[in-house]
Amino acid sequence: MNAHRIIPALSGTGVTAGADVHANLTAASLTTHALRRGEGRLSADGAFIAVTGQHTGRSVQDKFVADDPEVTKEIWWGKVNQKLDPAKFDAFTARVRTYLGSQSELFTQDLYAGADPAHRIKVRLVTPNAWHAMFARNMFIRPPQEELAGFEPDYVILHAPEMDANPETDGGRAGSTTLIGLSFAKKLICIAGTSYAGEIKKSIFTVMNWLLPARGVLPMHCSANVGKAGDTALFFGLSGTGKTTLSSDPERALIGDDEHGWSDHGVFNFEGGCYAKVIKLSQEAEPQIWNASHRFGAVLENVVADERGHLDLEDNSLTENTRSCYPIEFIPNTVPGGMAGLPKNVVMLTADAFGVLPPISKLAPAQAMYHFLSGYTARVAGTEKGLGKEPQATFSTCFGAPFLPRHPEVYGKMLESLIARDGAQVWLVNTGWTGGAYGTGKRMSIQHTRALLRAALDGSLAKVEFVQEPFFGLSIPKSVPGIPAEVLNPRESWADKAAYDRTARDLQARFEKNFETFAGAVSDAVKAAAIRAAA
């Protein structure tokens, strides 16, 4: 073995290596290495299948932010951003660098986050696994070959999935061998003790959420697409609410499926790929995602296949959070360059496990702010480590609390200003349950959801009569061609109307309690629009 040395592919990372460093390999080369190294196998269609072990979702309790003096006053400290002593972060970083330097092989990828050149950052990933490098290559924006020669990273990700963190020396959560540590001052992310690739993706989203507000750009946990008339639409929502599915519409061009910025000039994608949840994925209902997941170059996490490599997308024996990661160009109708104009429509998605919210409602500006800061949905088992089998009602402010390093009011006020400036119409869409709560009712028909969304985005829904439902103050369409009346008014879909009323009042109370967390930072108009429990 050669002596440890600094090589160009590791410049700016602090890692020295005495073995092979594979820099910026293609998907084909990375697949070859991953198979050689026994990191996974191929599906019958050529997609790479990896199993991530005990971590099949994000480990939110193990995410820590270095309490650097330069940034401490600006960070929203608490359960989302847990403090890590800078000295502990340095010790952790040193251990990760030593670990990576001792590996027989390393894989690096130099990538962009942010399609808009004015607001992008350069990211360098160092990992011992070829499949994780392929995941990052799929997920982020791949620079042209001529831009790689002089590439110097703005942020570095040191990825050590098989290295156990030590809470005593590294900081982190007592009893846990997983640690995701981030330092904004040092522009460094270290990930140890988890093979779930989503940690790579979301760590950079957190960085963009930190950097862009200071530049006057709103970072958003949303998908985005654009119609033939050039009308941009945003789809906010947490995992499992349908961002990827609903934005991948054959009638509209996809900008991106998960993370975007809203600037003075328009909307731009942070990423160069998609990370779709594929449990129970239907070829008929979601053909674009299905096709993208059944081809060479896609990376599948915890998807079950038989001995011949045929995928069983119904099998949740490893996790409900089965995932497919693929380059955005695998979707046939995308926006070249990942940038489009200012949004005309903003859609806030929720998967209401109680089955009492309407499938679509039109929000006034103050209501839009209220629901953005509330971020209500139902967590689906497997999206995060530690959830049980039942979905859990939750509130995640700005539809992305786990990724917000700044206080939510920073993002809320920016959105409020942008909606007012650009005149966007806001819609609340429930992709969850109807006819009863989870376990009694059924999941909302995706055909109905798509039809209602298309009517909202093409302007035809604005022409129908709206009425106000009594529990949440939402304006709902009285009738829409092709949509049953009982679907539009959720109370009518319940056989037991008294049970609906009780369940709606329970959800009212949950909204009211959650409102206490941000009531002091909103305008009087938003306070007036807040949902309150019936007396």
* 244, 334, 383, 431: the active-site residue: 244
Distances (CA, A) of 441 to 14, 284, 391: 54, 23, 14
202 is catalytic: yes
Check: CB of residue 51 under 8 Å from CB of residue 302.
yes
Burial class (CB in 10 A: 0-12, 13-18, 19+), 146: exposed
Nearest to 120 by CA among 268, 12, 329, 257: 268
243 is catalytic: yes
Alpha helices in 107-148 (DSSP H): 130-139
Residues contacting residue 172 through CB under 8 Å, at least 6 positions apart:
62, 64, 84, 92, 165, 178, 179, 181
* 120, 186, 323, 379: the active-site residue: 323
* 221, 294, 344, 385: the active-site residue: 221
* 59, 178, 239, 350: the active-site residue: 239
* 97, 119, 132, 202: the active-site residue: 202
Rg of the chain in Å (alpha carbons): 23
58 is catalytic: yes
Check: CB of residue 477 under 8 Å from CB of residue 464.
yes
Strand partners, 392: 379
Check: CB of residue 187 under 8 Å from CB of residue 156.
yes
26 is catalytic: no
| Rounded Cα gap, residues 65 and 156, in angstroms | 15
478 is catalytic: no
| Rounded Cα gap, residues 183 and 59, in angstroms | 18
Return the structure tokens found at 44.
């019958």
258 is catalytic: yes
Sequence length of the chain is 535
| Long-range CB contacts for residues 363-366, cutoff 8 Å, separation at least 24 | 363/426, 363/427, 363/428, 363/474, 363/475, 364/475, 364/529, 365/416, 365/419, 365/420, 365/426, 365/525, 366/523, 366/525, 366/526, 366/528, 366/529
Strand 82-84 to 63-66 pairing:
parallel
Distances (CA, A) of 386 to 55, 58, 263: 10, 10, 36
CA 166, 169, 175: angle at the middle one, nearest 5?
35
Helix, strand, coil percentages in the chain from 3-state DSSP, rounded to 5? 30, 25, 40
Nearest to 91 by CA among 200, 190, 195, 193: 190
Q: Match 């001052």 to its residue by tokens.
A: 185
* 124, 243, 379, 510: the active-site residue: 243
Distances (CA, A) of 35 to 44, 290, 303, 494: 14, 23, 17, 52
* 258, 263, 324, 344: the active-site residue: 258
Residues marked active site are found at 58, 202, 221, 239, 243-244, 258, 323
